[in-house]
Structure formats: C-alpha cells, structure tokens
Amino acid sequence: MNFISDALVITKRQLLQLSRVPEVLIFSTIQPVMFVLMFRYVFGGSISTDQPGGYVQLLMPGIFVQTVAFTLAGTASGLAEDMGKGLIDRFRSLPISRSALVVGRTLGDSLLNIVVLIVMGIAGYAVGWRPTGGLLNTVLAFVFLLAFGYALSWTGIFAGLAARDARVVQNISFLITFPLTFLSNAFAPTTGMPRPLQYFAEWNPVSTMVAACRDLFGLENQFGATAGSFPSEHPLVTSIFYMFLIMAIFVPLSVRKYANKSK
C-alpha cells in the first residue's frame, strides 16, 4: 500500500516539475509536431505510395512510435541529474520501498506520453491522418504505444542510474534511439536499404510496433520488409514479446542498480 502511495508522490513530483517549468512540456510536444509537419510536407511528396489517403497515413504510426521512444532520453537524463545532485541519496535514506522511486518516475513519463500522443494525434488529424480501423482498434493502438513507451522508459531508468552525467546520458540515448527509429519501417520503405540493414529493420522492435499500429489503424502494412517473415506476419505479437523482454531485462537491472549500495 505504501509502495503505491510512495510511487505516486514521486509521479506527482514530476507533474509539479512540469507545472513549474512548462517549457519542458511545450518543447516535448512541439518537437514531434514539427516532425509530423516536416515529414508530411518534405518527404511526403517524394515517397511514392499507393496508400489511400497518402503518405501521412503511414507516417503517423511511425512518428507515434518514434516519439514514445524518444522520451526515454528525458527519463535517463532526469534521473542522472537527480543522481548528480544527491537527490537519489536522499530518497534512498528515506524509509520507502526501493522501487517506489523508479516506478513513480516511469509512471510520470507515461503521463507525459499521454499528453504528447494526444497533441500529436490532433496535429496528425489536422494534416490529413484518418485512422480507419474503428474506434476500438484506434484506442488499442494508443494503449500499446503507451505500453511500449513504458517498457522503454525502464531502459532510460537504467541508463540514468548507470551514467555519471546528465548531458552524456542524454546524448547516448539519442545515439541509440535515432538509429533505432530510422533503421525501421517508420518513415520509408525498408526495401531500399542494404540487405543486412533490412534484416535489422525487420526485427527492430520499432518496426514491429509501427506495423502493429498500422494494422490497428486499418492500413496495409507497407514499408515492411520481406513478406512471410514472423515479425511482419505477427507484428503485434512480436511487439508484445519485445515489451516483456525489455521489462524482464531492465526492471530487475534498474531496481538492483538503484538499491545497490556500493556505488
């Protein structure tokens, strides 16, 4: 019982931070909206697709996934900053559960993701995105996006706890998330990539998530690689497997890192 209320206090702290420094929220929503506009109008014209409704239908699921993936950099640098300032030591000297702090943090990041996804959905709608998979499937897609973001935020937690400096960890996070989101089917067909990269893109969790969302939004899964492979046939199952895998690895690692007293 205490565990939940402790975690919620930490989540509330994050919301208070956002209310004190609203720029953080503003910029974390402006950036993905900017991506929507740029991709829609810069690449949209040159990437040919026979998708009814145009490129933007394929683009939006890609950008949704990219955005939730990018928030892990904020998770990581926020935590690294708390470490550097000795705040983590203070939390650890309190009579609260070891995992309350990290769980609270991941919940806060999920709340941030909800806001960002809503704003992006509206921006997408404004530039012509129309999901056709039905209301239930559309809602389901957003639930999976949040779940994917939640799973990934645990990698951010681990990176933040392992790092020594907030700026370094932010850069490292981008170094990982950028290739991960671009070496995928998110923005362009993978068929143009060299063969080894195609394999990577096909099994990339970002690709399976994007493909799963496209399914749920009622699209043909275009931009995916070879037909017949397991991830392209079963993107949702593969994605859920990845989420569990990420959490199975990073939740215990992070909790142990946090509790590890001989740092």
Partner 1 sequence: MKSVIAENLVKTYRKGEVKALDDLSLDVEEGTVLSVLGPNGAGKTTTVRILATLLSPDSGHATVGGIDVVKHPDKVREIIGLSGQYAAVDETLTGWDNLVMFGRLYHLGKKASIARADELLERFSLTDSGKRPIKTYSGGMRRRLDLAAAIIVKPKILFLDEPTTGLDPRGRQEMWGVIKELVDGGVTLLLTTQYLEEADHLADEIVVIDHGKVIARGTSDALKKDVGGERLEVIVEANQLKVTAEIITRVSGIAAHVDEGMRSVSSPVKNGTKSLMDALREFDEAKLHPLDIGLKRPSLDDVFLALTGHAAEETK
Binding site for partner 1 (CB under 8 A): 2, 5-6, 9, 12-13, 16-17, 20-21, 85-87, 89-96, 261-263
DSSP designation for 191: G
Closer to partner 1 by Cβ: residue 191 or 260: 260
Closer to partner 1 by Cβ: residue 75 or 177: 75
**Beta carbon of residue 72, minimum distance to partner 1 (angstroms, whole number):** 20
- Per-residue H/E/C for 117-174: HHHHHHHHHHCCCCCCCCHHHHHHHHHHHHHHHHHHHHHHHHHHHHCCCHHHHHHHHH
**Beta carbon of residue 13, minimum distance to partner 1 (angstroms, whole number):** 6
**Beta carbon of residue 172, minimum distance to partner 1 (angstroms, whole number):** 23
Helix (H) or strand (E) holding 109: helix 100-126
Closer to partner 1 by Cβ: residue 130 or 263: 263
> CB neighbours of 241 closer than 8 A, spacing ≥ 6?
none
**Beta carbon of residue 31, minimum distance to partner 1 (angstroms, whole number):** 20
Closer to partner 1 by Cβ: residue 17 or 31: 17
67: its two tokens: 């955005």
Task: Give the C-alpha separation, 10 to 108, whole Å.
Answer: 8
Closer to partner 1 by Cβ: residue 46 or 262: 262
Q: Count CA atoms within 13 Å of residue 235 on its CB side.
A: 27
Task: Give the C-alpha separation, 259 to 263, whole Å.
Answer: 9
**Beta carbon of residue 82, minimum distance to partner 1 (angstroms, whole number):** 8
